[in-house]
Amino acid sequence: MGIDKVCDEKTNISKDKYEKLKKNQRMESYCLIVESIIIFSFFLVIVLILIIQKIKSVYNRNKEEIIIAFLLLSFILFFICIICHSVFLGRIIYNDLSYNCSDDLTNEVSKKENENTKKSILYTSINLALDIFLF
């Protein structure tokens, strides 16, 4: 069991970096929850509006203004979620704790954490790409 000293000196693994990584992963999960609520409420309001229009065929100008304001607010919140996703993704990538400076047995401990971080980066990237495409 050995550690490559040259490789080990080039890595910057610290408790602070680990805490930042975990904090940004947690914030990303909160952002996903908020985004899901925004999308769900957007579709719920659209369905409710369609149901109300079927029941009442009376034209109401205030209703259209409320719909436009709600759609505008939803798009603004969705855009803010896109910005948050990109910030959190950048921070997760920056604080990634990849460590491959020793043999396979020694790296096994850090390998599990690295797999979780890589999955987090992949899922966040896919979500961000889909958000940008939908926006």
Q: Digits of tens for pLDDT over the chain (135 positions)?
A: 455 555 556 566 667 877 888 888 888 889 888 888 888 888 888 787 777 777 765 555 566 777 777 778 888 888 888 898 889 888 888 877 666 555 555 566 566 667 777 888 888 888 888 888 877
Rounded distance between C-alpha atoms, residue 88 and residue 21, angstroms: 9
Does residue 21 contact residue 96 with C-beta atoms inside 8 Å?
yes
Residue recorded with tokens 């992963």: 25
Rounded distance between C-alpha atoms, residue 110 and residue 16, angstroms: 16
Provide the whole-model pTM: 0.66
φ, ψ of residue 12 in degrees (nearest 5)? -125, 70
Does residue 11 contact residue 101 with C-beta atoms inside 8 Å?
yes
Domain boundaries, the chain: 16-134
